[in-house]
């Protein structure tokens, strides 16, 4: 069940251009989950098509992971103003849609701490969680969640690129 086209479950619906729903293969056992759409995504209605998306596409190709064979989504479906981090109530408003998207998945790669904290329901640091697969249950049976860097981190932290590439290679083993 996707959100209704005129969704106003939270304040993010007031300033958006597009609802940004998942892209890729809905039935894939693998999902990549980011934080929120950015400006390019808001205009196009497709997740990860801006600068971070270009980085993600390149690293996916290097890892042998085809974008069409995984599901790519965000914790919230509307762009937060000024690209700020989504607030807890905004993530809670979209959580039913995210949970529905993740049904049947075997492996979820959380791109960034915000996505990871929403998925796992707890605060953490990248140092403690990065690229460490953890078996969990989001309410639809066991699946593996792995937290890694958001592609935008590669812009400011070159070492994040290798870490993210390794995480994407791990994701490819679940296809």
CATH code assigned at 97: 3.40.470.10
Distance of CA 128 to the CA centre of its chain: 19
Q: Residue 2: what pLDDT?
A: 85
Q: Residue 140: what pLDDT?
A: 85
Q: Residue 5: what pLDDT?
A: 87
Q: Residue 1: what pLDDT?
A: 77
Does residue 30 form part of some domain?
A: yes
Alpha-helix residue ranges (DSSP H) falling in 63-157: 88-102, 113-120, 126-129, 153-156
Percent over 90 (pLDDT), the chain = 94
In sign, the C-alpha dihedral spanning 83, 84, 90, 95 is: positive
Average pLDDT over every residue of 156-172:
96
Does residue 1 form part of some domain?
A: no
> Which residue is it, tokens 């640091």?
125
β partners of residue 107: 30, 144
Does residue 87 form part of some domain?
A: yes
Does residue 134 form part of some domain?
A: yes
pLDDT in tens, 30-89: 999 999 999 999 999 999 999 999 999 999 999 999 999 999 999 999 999 998 999 999
**Domain span at residue 20?**
11-172
Does residue 73 form part of some domain?
A: yes
Does residue 6 form part of some domain?
A: no
146 near 167, Cβ under 8 Å? yes
Average pLDDT over the chain, rounded to whole?
Answer: 95
Does residue 2 form part of some domain?
A: no
Counted domains in the chain: 1
pLDDT in tens, 129-153: 999 999 999 888 899 999 999 999 9
In sign, the C-alpha dihedral spanning 99, 100, 103, 108 is: negative
Does residue 129 form part of some domain?
A: yes
């Amino acid at each position: 069940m996707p959100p209704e086209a005129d969704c106003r479950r939270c304040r993010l619906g007031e300033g958006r251009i597009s609802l940004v729903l998942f892209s890729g293969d809905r039935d894939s056992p693998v999902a990549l989950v980011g934080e929120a759409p950015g400006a390019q995504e808001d205009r196009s209605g497709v997740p990860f098509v801006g600068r971070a998306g270009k980085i993600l596409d390149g690293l996916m190709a290097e890892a042998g992971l085809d974008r069409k064979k995984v599901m790519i989504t965000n914790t919230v479906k509307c762009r937060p103003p000024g690209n700020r981090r989504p607030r807890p109530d905004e993530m809670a408003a979209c959580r039913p849609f995210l949970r529905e998207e993740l049904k049947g998945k075997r492996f979820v790669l959380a791109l960034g701490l915000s996505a990871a904290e929403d998925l796992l329901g707890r605060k953490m640091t990248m140092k403690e969680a990065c690229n460490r697969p953890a078996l969990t249950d989001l309410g639809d049976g066991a699946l593996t969640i792995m937290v890694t860097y958001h592609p935008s981190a590669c812009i400011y932290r070159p070492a994040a690129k290798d870490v993210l590439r390794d995480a994407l290679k791990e994701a490819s083993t679940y296809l």
